[in-house]
Structure 1
Amino acid sequence: MQKKVKIAALGVLTALGACTGSTNPEEASLFDNIHNLNTGEYDRQIESNKARAQAILANNRAAESRISGLENQAASNSRTIASLRNDIAETKAVAQQARASSAGDTAAIQRVSVLEQQLRSVESEVKSGTASPSVAKAELRRIRSALLSI
């Protein structure tokens, strides 16, 4: 009987010796897994992983929102640039008409030349990206109006 108790005790000690204390389900022994299940360790790990996943998803949604905003701003900028280029082309056409209609009038040709120089200056600022779109549009309207009054 005492021999059976010693063998049983030895078996329990061997089984306990197999416990590594690991909380990683892939590395933990059977007894570690039972211990981790009983203590709620695996439930805590699951909740922690869920919280990290939710944080990552929230971060991704925020990044997607920022990207969408930047894409919208880029599209708006492209439309503004296209509009400015169109206004410049229209103002150049008006300048050509004003120059043609002022063929013999030296003073009118000088005014057209001054306005064309102003137009080139606005165009240069638009091309370089240093012009405020609203200021450039206002200046183009002013130049076009002055050209039409020649």
Structure 2
Amino acid sequence: MKVVSILGFVSPIVAAALGRAVAPAADQANTTFAELDDIKVLCGVPGPDNELPATSYSYPIGLLLSAAGKKIHVDAGPGNCKQAACGESSGAGVIVCNDQKNGVDLLYSDLGFFAQQVYNKCKHRRDDTNYVENGQAFCPDGWNVILTDIGHDCHASTIPPN
């Protein structure tokens, strides 16, 4: 995956999580910090299909995006998954899965970026409210991120200190 750095870009989700309204400059409004051609995003998977109000994902995605430099370890796969972030009161969660035959150490902020791609693609409006359908974003490096309703089984509501 090709990555391009942008100075001064602040995600609206991070801004919401931090309680600040931040708007990107006019020349940054349509700029992304990764080439999305390499990321495959599927909505409505894995089953069962569910959706939550879009605001439910603000905390878990913002938590991941704000964890600069911190890493999460996921043991060897394929299909080895663990919670990366969740909101205790909303049930919204971000799960990371490793499909490689060896363990991986991933940046929480990278997981947040992939979670935000699912959020962007799987968001829809109904009855004057935005909802996000569960979905999955696949990294070509052999891991993926899932946005889903994990219910009351939240055990990743904070980022552990490294």
The answer to whether TM tops 0.5 is no
TM range (shorter): under 0.3
Q: Which TM-score applies when normalising by structure 1?
A: 0.27
| Structure number having the greater strand percentage | 2
| Structure number having the greater helix percentage | 1
Q: Which has the greater radius of gyration?
A: 1
